[in-house]
Structure 1
Amino acid sequence: MVQTWRPLGRVVAPFSNGSWWHSHASYPTPLVRDDGRVSVFFSVRDASNRSCLASVDIALDDDRFSVLGAVRGPLFTPGTRGAFDGDGVTVTSIVPDGDRLLAYYLGWMVGASVPFSNFIGLAIGDAEGTRFERASVVPVIGRTPVTPLTLGYPWVLRQGENWRMWFGSHLCWGAQDLDMVHVIQQATSPDGRVWLPQDGVVIPLAGEDDRAEFAVSRPAVLREADGTFSMWYARRRPGYELGFAASADGIQWRRSDDSVRFVGAAEDWEDAERTYPAVFDHRGRRYMLYNGNGYGRTGFGIAVLEPRADTR
């Protein structure tokens, strides 16, 4: 059924602070706190175009939000030269684990024959998310027989002792530049640290239904009250758009991209694109954080799901 999302406004607009923040506010990632705050972690870029982690707290009251205090950062910075994350770190999933936070991120390596080679890392932070340190100097998911090329943004759900991850993955590079086939795969873990990528593709490209599409990425997954799964993601065709899929088990998915709709006039920062969604529930309402034009060049905003819509 149709999801009707109503934009509430831009949360963070990028600016240059002359230091670690030169541009972008990308991949907003929510963490709902026990006191009702929502901490939003996001990626910024320095003058050398390397990404690092920042965060800001917001308060939500039904269809209104307010920013609580200043942006904090840098909370997590690129690794050493030559490391898998030496050219940038992009956190896209935060999972509470006792008195710490587990941050799953994409480590960037700028390429020569291909534009980049990225792998998935894990950082561990304190409960408030004021600082993060690498769990290891090597990725938790790198090149394997089922993930032989570059990887994309991860999303992790913890269900008791079971850990599941959905992430982007290249099936192939094309002849030049950003020619690619980028899909969504999944992995499982017994502890959130050791991950086993699974065979197969859970969200393939649209194929005959949409030949322009060449990538689906940044999955954001929720477990619904009835036990089913909902996933929102970014599409490139070639501009950025939003997509949606539903699943009974988190393995077999049914795409329904046209079900995601926004109402009202778009503001100038989002009038060409909405992408990189992160959906979460808060006090009986469902919200979406998302990037606008330029996949983070104009910052990120928030929308609320209208009550009559159904995500399944």
Structure 2
Amino acid sequence: MKSWSKLCLIYAPINIDEMISTHASNALPILVSDDVYRIFFSGRDSENKSSVGWFDFDIVKKEILNVCDETFLSCKENNRKYYSHGISLGCFLNDGLDINVYFMAWQIEGNNHWRGDVGRFSLDSRKKIKNVDDTPYMTSDKEDPISLSYPFILKDNGLFRMWYGSTISWDSPNGEMVHVIKYATSMDGVTWNKHGLAIPFQLGVAQAFSRPCVLKRSGTYHMWFSYRSGDGSTYRIGYASSTDAMNWKIDLDSGVAPSIEGWDSEMVCYPYVFVHKEKVYMLYNGNSHGKTGIGLAVCNEVEV
């Protein structure tokens, strides 16, 4: 699944309010009806702190139908400290009653380095907020002592599988952080067994990963992710495949690369891949980590 056609820039950020004045990162599409998706995203304020907004998009007509007129979920909401400096969307699961959304929760305490946990909030059937967890859904421990980032959870034949980001070091010999994708499983979606590194990393080639997205088709697991090499280059989108969800064959050429010019000419990042009416689509961000907006691509391969 490496052959893609870019369709268009579907959303260029607008100044919605003081909490979402720039950026539209980490697009998360949740079906509303027929061909219409409510696409949630992480926007930023003047201090670069991220909060959540949304727009409704007809994926067949390629039209925006509605845009929120205020912040949907603010990082300042109820002063919850574990996401005091930002909410960056990861994935969602629909349990039949509610939609649980999982995100990277940013915080900075004092003069310390930023760090992340995994947070969660739930939506009702109208896509309104029903609950926001008071404490992190997953936080640092012996396996992941430094910082966590974007989770992706797949319910697969009764087993919950999670791929998530974990920091090994803030500063490697080339000055880039080492942030990898790890793997965990759970029988109930609450208690997780961690299995360590999922995607291999290599200093100077691919060592700073973020936002994995996994799609299972015909017995094969397909993963897309952002990565940086450590040589000063901006994010790119990589790809990996696996037949057992644990051992992955990695390919840094995902088939979605920066354009020659325009909104995604310097960077591509934060992919989210999903299926609509047997077509496989990717939402992704371009330059400056989503400052220029959200793009849409479609997979050209028939057998997916």
Q: Is the TM value for this pair above 0.5? A: yes
2:221 maps to a residue whose letter is: F
CA contact (8 A) 2:237 2:254 kept: no
Tell me, what secondary structure is at the counterpart of 2:200? coil
How do 1:36-115 residues align onto structure 2 when only pairs under 5 Å count?
36-61=35-60, 65-71=62-68, 73-78=70-75, 79-81=77-79, 83-111=81-109, 114-115=112-113
- Partners of 2:17 and 2:68 in 1: how far apart? 15
Tell me, what secondary structure is at the counterpart of 2:83? coil
- Partners of 2:175 and 2:11 in 1: how far apart? 28
| Structure 2 unaligned blocks of 5 or more | none
Q: Give the stretch that moved more between structures: 38-47 or 154-163.
A: 154-163
How do 1:1-312 residues align onto structure 2 when only pairs under 5 Å count?
3-61=2-60, 65-71=62-68, 73-78=70-75, 79-81=77-79, 83-111=81-109, 114-135=112-133, 137-174=134-171, 179-192=176-189, 194-207=190-203, 211-224=204-217, 226-237=218-229, 238-261=233-256, 266=260, 268-307=262-301
Deviation at 1:111, TM superposition (A): 5.0
Deviations 1:226-267 (A, max 9, x none): 22100000011231101000011111111012242459x655
Deviations 1:123-142 (A, max 9, x none): 1111232225313x221211
TM-score when normalising by structure 2: 0.90
> RCO greater where, 1 or 2, for CA within 8 Å and sep 6 or more?
1
Deviation at 1:148, TM superposition (A): 0.8
Tell me, what secondary structure is at the counterpart of 1:49? coil
Spell out structure 1 runs of 4+ moving beyond 6 A: 175-178
- Partners of 2:224 and 2:128 in 1: how far apart? 28
TM-score when normalising by structure 1: 0.87
267 and 8 in structure 1: CA distance in 2 versus 1, 3 angstrom threshold: farther
- Partners of 1:123 and 1:130 in 2: how far apart? 10
| Structure 1 unaligned blocks of 5 or more | none
- Partners of 2:174 and 2:291 in 1: how far apart? 21
2:280 maps to a residue whose letter is: R
Deviations 1:50-83 (A, max 9, x none): 211111121122xx51112223642222255571
Deviation at 1:300, TM superposition (A): 0.9
2:237 maps to a residue whose letter is: L
CA contact (8 A) 1:58 1:66 kept: yes
CA contact (8 A) 1:9 1:301 kept: yes
The count of residues paired between Structure 1 and Structure 2 equals 300
Superposition RMSD on alpha carbons, in Å? 2.4
Give identity over the alignment, percent.
30
CA contact (8 A) 1:115 1:178 kept: no
- Partners of 1:134 and 1:74 in 2: how far apart? 15
197 and 10 in structure 1: CA distance in 2 versus 1, 3 angstrom threshold: farther
CA contact (8 A) 1:184 1:201 kept: yes
270 and 80 in structure 1: CA distance in 2 versus 1, 3 angstrom threshold: same
CA contact (8 A) 2:17 2:70 kept: no
177 and 119 in structure 1: CA distance in 2 versus 1, 3 angstrom threshold: farther
